[in-house]
Amino acid sequence: MTQLHNRISRKELKEAVLNDPTARTTISFYCYFKVEDPAAFRNTLYRELKNIGVLGRIYVASEGINAQISVPTHNIEHFRTYLYSIEPLNNLRLNIAVDDDGKSFFVLDVKVRKKIVADGIDDPTFDMANKGKYVNAEQFNHLTEDPDTVVVDMRNYYEYEVGHFQNAIEIPSDTFRDQLPMAVDMLKDKKDTNIIMYCTGGIRCEKASAYMLHRGFKNVFHLEGGIINYAKQVKEKDLPTKFIGKNFVFDDRLGERITADIIAHCHQCGKPADTHANCKNDGCHLLFIQCEECARTFEGCCSKDCQDTIHLPDERRKELRKGIDKGQHIFNKSKQRLRPSLKGK
């Protein structure tokens, strides 16, 4: 009988995947549908996907499923057949990663959550069935030729920083739940204007489009499949791209290149750079942008203090980590929440 939880250390699993020559493909998908028993659905998913060799992160809730996974390339059809055997997921669009070496995930995590996207919505009259209209890449390009069309980025600031659509509005918040009411307020005078919402793979902008309609907006669209699907369609149909830079992704890659433009800057020296990294000091693990030169100088750390720390004996580093709650430990230049070690560099 297949175990319903991973029993091997993540470090061992990562080493195994990195040393395994098996080709893997990174895929993301989501679907809003009613799940009667999320726990039972979760257990079945874990069993079936484990047998196929799937790795990744999957959230299940009563409102649906949200998944970012890595599948052995030779098992993709097996995976697709199983997924499509679940009636609400039959023929579901699968987003194939744009810039991918398959080394995106190292363990299979399937978790039950209250919602597949934390939104802060507690209004019982809110209904995901009443959502905005899908637009594909060609329709998106056409609609944005109109200067009155408003394009809204429903991702976090650190995602927007390295890449976004031309003239897109950033909703400057740390969380999606805060962005929803902020978007309503920022666009309160645009209730009759064409509004296109987008995100990485479509899950956030789909819910955001439903929320905007719920709050009285009339002409709301959302980019089908998000940036990932847009980039795929642009390439397949030889369309001009209106996305600039890199698409941030929530896996070990931390980004996939869409265009050669580098629109962000190293958080340490200020040079053009768009490579996100987590500080090598486990007691810090700050997510920040670091250029190659600073990565060499600081050995992958965000500061000299953290660099010194990684050379301390293991026991001393463990002592320093005790009681630390890193929370959402992300460098936020836009709000001036700079670590002292990053100021003035």
322 vs 329: CA distance, rounded Å: 16
Point out the catalytic residue in the list 199, 266, 301, 302.
199
User: Is 291 one of the catalytic residues?
Assistant: no
337 vs 128: CA distance, rounded Å: 35
Strand 150-153, strand 169-170: pairing: parallel
Helix ranges restricted to H, 23-75: 38-52
Cβ proximity of 284 and 326 under 8 Å:
yes
Strand 64-72, strand 24-32: pairing: antiparallel
Which single residue is written with the structure tokens 């080493």?
15
**Residues 6 or more apart in contact with residue 318 via CB below 8 angstroms:** none
Question: Which string of b and e fits 258-283 if b means at least 16 CB within 10 Å?
Answer: bbeebebbbbbeeeebbbbbbbbbbb
Between the alpha carbon of residue 135 and those of residues 140, 165, 338, the distances in Å are 6, 15, 38
Active site residues: 199
